[in-house]
């Protein structure tokens, strides 16, 4: 994945869309859960999604929340900010309003339309299969409001969802939002909430989303996605709202606290390689995504994922990557934990 840029101003020209679709971002946590997509906000892989949870950390990943369609309503006009690819077309074409994408601690998208600026930030929880998507409206005019439509896949992240295959997708109310489940599958439910907002039930299936990276690989590349309804956010609600989705149980994500903790973690990782320059510091921060926690018979230990989006943790790759990921960055205690876990696994075998 190409995650080597940040603070890039993106012109609103359709002929640059292909370039945006080649730029991918990733946010991962200690459980092996992750959030990933492109700079255009359009999923191009079956593995792209706002929440890919880990049912058995750090593996058994489930595509939970695939995407959220955003509509900005200003006065009498409605503007679609999402971008999706279907066969021979993109709909909606929200990238035309996209001004800035920033590959930062939180993946950040800045849209401008009709005198209103909307900043969207995507941040994964540190120790839970949960994602927070924060929206901030600035300079709203008259009756500006935001309409958010979440789409869920509820599938193994290697597979694709088809409306023609057996399923029983449904939703119900939860404590402060909704819960979506496929009653025909063994997968855990997803809890979705948005504050402050009103939920309006409006079930829909959208058909034949195209994932171009899968088509290029000669793989199945079309998917149908389910949406239970929409969350409506009015601009009178302080201008800031947060949509949260979590796998298996309801999780509250303190966005500001989580963001501060992640930034401090990144600063700590970059410090030991500061003398090597900004490139080494960025690599040190990115490397942290691959360090995960794996349960063991004598307690949890550290392990190293071989790669994203689909690799697990294997001994050979772990030992190859360990010096660069943990020794160069001064994480000697975690290196010992990785070695101890590998020794325990070898003994069980």
DSSP annotation string for 169-212:
EEEEE-SSEEEEEETTS-PPPEEEEEET-EEEEEEEEEEEEE-H
**HSE of 172 in the Cβ direction (CA atoms, 13 Å)?**
7
Q: Which helix (H) or strand (E) holds 28?
A: strand 24-28
Report domain 8-253's class. Answer: mainly beta
Mark the ranges of the chain whose per-residue pLDDT is less than 70. 1-15, 139-143, 235-238, 296-299, 346-349
d(CA 200, CA 241): 16
> Which pLDDT score is estimated for 342?
87
177-200: pLDDT as tens digits: 999 999 998 889 999 999 999 999
**What CA–CA distance (Å, rounded) separates 70 from 147?**
6
Q: List every span in the chain annotated with CATH 2.70.98.
A: 8-253
**Furthest CA-CA distance within the chain:** 67
Over residues 41-83, the pLDDT tens digits come to 999 999 999 999 999 999 999 999 999 999 999 888 999 999 9
* Burial class of residue 60, CB neighbours in 10 A (0-12, 13-18, 19+): middle
């Amino acid at each position: 994945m190409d995650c080597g840029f940040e603070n890039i101003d993106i012109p609103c020209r359709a002929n640059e869309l292909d370039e945006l679709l080649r730029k991918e971002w990733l946010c991962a946590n200690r459980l092996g859960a992750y959030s990933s997509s492109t700079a255009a906000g359009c999923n191009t892989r079956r593995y792209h999604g706002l929440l890919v949870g880990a049912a058995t950390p750090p593996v058994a990943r489930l595509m939970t929340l695939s995407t959220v369609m955003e509509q900005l309503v200003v006065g009498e006009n409605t503007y679609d900010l999402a971008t999706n690819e279907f066969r021979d077309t993109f709909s909606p074409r929200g990238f035309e309003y996209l001004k800035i994408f920033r590959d930062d601690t939180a993946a950040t998208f800045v849209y401008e339309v009709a005198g209103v600026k909307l900043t969207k930030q995507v941040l994964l929880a540190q120790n839970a299969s949960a994602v927070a998507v924060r929206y901030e409206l600035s300079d709203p005019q008259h009756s500006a409001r935001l309409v958010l439509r979440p789409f869920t896949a509820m599938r193994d992240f290697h597979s694709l969802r088809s409306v023609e295959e057996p399923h029983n997708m449904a939703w119900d109310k939860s404590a402060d939002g909704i819960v979506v489940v496929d009653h025909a599958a063994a997968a855990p439910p997803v809890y979705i909430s948005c504050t402050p907002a009103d939920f309006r039930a409006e079930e829909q299936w959208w058909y034949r989303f195209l994932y171009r990276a899968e088509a290029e690989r000669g793989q199945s590349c079309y998917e149908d996605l389910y949406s239970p309804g929409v969350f409506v956010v009015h601009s009178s609600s302080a201008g800031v709202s947060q949509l949260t989705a979590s796998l298996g149980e309801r999780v509250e994500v303190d966005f500001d606290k989580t963001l501060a903790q992640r930034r401090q973690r990144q600063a700590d990782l970059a410090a030991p390689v500061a003398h090597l320059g900004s490139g080494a510091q960025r690599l040190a921060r990115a490397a942290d995504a691959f360090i995960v926690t794996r349960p063991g018979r004598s307690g949890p230990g550290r392990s190293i994922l071989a790669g994203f989006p689909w690799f697990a943790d294997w001994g050979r790759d772990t030992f190859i990557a360990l010096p660069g990921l943990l020794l160069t960055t001064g994480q000697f205690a975690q290196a010992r934990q990785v070695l101890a876990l590998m020794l325990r696994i070898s003994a069980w075998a």
